[in-house]
Structure 1
Amino acid sequence: MATYQGILLQLIFAVLVAKKDTTFDLSLRFQLPAQEYELLSSLVETCRLAGLFYYPNMISRHHSSAPLALVWVSVEEIKRFGLALYKLCRLCSRSGGDTIDGNGNMEFRMPDSDEIWNAPEDEFIRLTALQQPSKDNRDTEQWISKTSGQLYDGRVGFDWI
C-alpha cells in the first residue's frame, strides 16, 4: 500500500507542478503528458489486477484473530486511497483526450466518518461503538460501483461528475 500511495503522491505533485503549463479539455480536466498519464493508468491497472478495491479482498488480507482496529484502519486506508486515485483520474486526461474509468471497480462502501478516522486511539473504540447507524460493508447494493451508475448516463457525451 505504501508504494501505491507514494506513486499517487508523485502523480498529484506532477499535476500541481505542471498546473500552470497544463491545458484543459472540455470537461475541465488537466491534460497530462503521455509519461505521467501512463504512470497513472498503470497504477489503476495494477490496483485492479490485484483486486485492491474489492471489499472481500480488503478483509482477506488479515487473519481472523487480527485486532479489529488494525483491520478497520487497513480497510479505511484502502478505501481512502481508492477514492483519492479516482479523484485524480477524474481530474486528468491524456493529451489526446483519453480518460480512465475507475468507478466501476470500487466494490466497497464509502469510508466511515472522518471523526473516527482522526480520533486518538483511546477515542477510537468509543466512537466505533457509538457510530449510528453501523455500515454493513458486505451490502453490495451500497458499493460505489453500484451507486455511481445512478449518476452516469452513457448517452450523454459531456462528463457531469
Structure 2
Amino acid sequence: MKEDCQNVKESPNFSIQIASTSSDADKISIEQVQITRSSSDADKISFAKWFDSNCQQFLAQKIFDILQGAVLGAGDVISVSSITLFFKYLKQSIHMLFEEGIIAVALLQRFVSKQTTKKVKTLNLQNIGTMLVVLVIVSLKTCREVVSDSFFAKEFDILPAVLNQSETA
C-alpha cells in the first residue's frame, strides 16, 4: 500500500491534511480536512479560497505524476502549474468541483492501468492536452446530468468528432 500524506497548512484557526492512499492503481482516497477551532467569517472565506487552490494543486500534482509515469517526456510538454491553471479555469468557467477532480484522477489512473495491462500506447506527447479535456468531460458526465461537448469543442478548439471518438477510447 502506498501512502502520500502532507500537512498542507497549520495555524491557530485550522489545520489541513490531504492524504492519498492507494493499494492499487484503480483506487484513490483523499481524506481529511480538519478545522481545529472556530474562526471568523473572514477566516472561513480565506480558508475556503486557500483550500480550493491547494486542492487544485494537489489534483494537478496527482495527474502530472500519473502522466509522467505513463508518457516518456510528459514533463517536457506539461507541468503541475499548467494543470493547476487548467483546473482553476474549469472552476471559474464551469464550476468544476473538487469531487469531479478526484474522479478525473481516478479515471486517469484506471485508463493508464488498463493501457499498461493491454500493452497499448494510446496516450502520448501529442495528445496529452486532448486527453485532459476528454478526462474532464468524462468526469463531468459521471457526476452531472447534462454536459455540453460543444462547449469544450469551442473552448479548446477541438473538433466535436475528435472529442466523441476520444470519449469512447
TM value normalised by structure 1: 0.32
Which is richer in strand? 2
Which structure exhibits the higher relative contact order, with contacts defined as CA atoms closer than 8 Å and separated by 6 or more residues? 1
